[in-house]
Amino acid sequence: MVDERMKTLAGNLVNYSLKLQKGEKVLILSNGADAESLVNEIIKEVFKVGALPFLKNENQRLNRTLMMNANDKLYEAMAKFDRDQMQEMDAYLGIGAVDNSGELSDVPADKMKNYMEKYSTPVHMEERINNTRWTVLRYPTNAMAQQANTSLESFENFYFEVCNLDYGKMSKAMDGLVTLMNKTDKVQILGDGTDLSFSIKGIPTIKCDGGKNIPDGEIFTAPVRNSVNGELSYNTPTVYQGVSYDSIVFTFENGKIIKAEANDTVRINQVLDTDDGARYIGEFAIGVNPFILKPMKNTLFDEKIMGSFHFTPGNCYDEAPNGNKSSIHWDLVCIQREEYGGGEIWFDDILIRKDGIFVLPQLEALNPENLK
């Protein structure tokens, strides 16, 4: 018997997030066998609206073998094939259900860089993100439950509560912050080990309200590329390209990360040396999802944590362009709620959020008690 929560999620993805219409084509990519039940319900929903589902399945272990052995000629052929397919699509839905988040951890840095530059960038960053309606999500697996330090049943309950919340209500609550950020020039962020300043003047602010990510709940823009100065200490662990990082500290000078430290300082600097844009910031975002309160080393969840912000080395989005281009886009998160050390965000010398709680009347709709 199919879980009714799964049917609800499938319906929301097809009708609310992707807004699929009759005759449109959608590419559904799933990575991991555990997501089969959800994909099955999504296919039914796609047919209900008269759209056309195209299916693609991946496996992280097989992807690892490919990355270990592929050369430029193969990546260029793969990129052409998959980019041509993507160009035929009106929409894209990506579902991750990996059973080992560290599967790619031993892929050498140069091989990972080659994959990102030769395949991932042309297919996803250049084509899919810019030219399709797209949504990405994760499916609850034992690996995710383990990272969240909970049972699978408990994690599934959390997952469906987060993913099936009222995104229409959240969307309206975001409008006040969007308006304020679009009027803001100077941003200052203060916290434990953090004193950071930058400008967001003239760069559009975008609300993420259940369209491109599930779960969702962030408002993002980008800093003026050369305006970032100071130090930022991230307090949220992260997994990137299969490697686990924590205790990340960046020092910025005129927009560039001039010093980077972490539990694996050598490897994090290898990531930041991928290309010229990897040491500049492509996104600044504020997390507001009231049900996501602690990190679980899954970026799609962690970047939405209530009372957090993320400051992202690498590529900017076309919706909020600051001119930074890179094959890297790494959402690194800092939580500012009191139990995580607190912190403040100031816009043009006015305090807008303290210890994760919005203090201006026009922003109070985004506080957790008003979003649940």
What pLDDT is stored for residue 3 in this prediction? Answer: 87
Residue pLDDT, tens place only, 44-98 = 999 999 999 999 999 999 999 999 999 999 999 999 999 999 999 999 999 999 8
How do beta strands 249-253 and 218-221 pair?
unpaired
Q: What architecture is the 4-163 domain classified under in CATH?
A: 3-Layer(aba) Sandwich (3.40)
DSSP for 200-221 reads -TT---EEESSSSEES--EEEE
Could you give the CA distance from residue 200 to residue 187 in angstroms, rounded to a whole number? Answer: 7
Query: What pTM, to 2 d.p., does this model score?
Result: 0.84
Run of H or E residues at 60: helix 60-69
Residue pLDDT, tens place only, 102-136 = 899 999 989 999 999 999 999 999 999 999 999 99
Question: What letters, b where the CB count within 10 A reaches 16 and e where it falls short, cover 254-270?
Answer: ebbbeebebebeebbbb
Q: Which residue has the tokens 């962690």?
A: 302
Q: Which of 103, 106, 93, 101 is nearest to 142 (CA)?
A: 101
pLDDT of residue 232 exceeding 80:
yes
Could you give the CA distance from residue 139 to residue 118 in angstroms, rounded to a whole number? Answer: 28
Could you give the CA distance from residue 100 to residue 184 in angstroms, rounded to a whole number? Answer: 42
Where in the chain is CATH 3.40.1830.10?
Answer: 4-163
pLDDT of residue 1 exceeding 70:
no
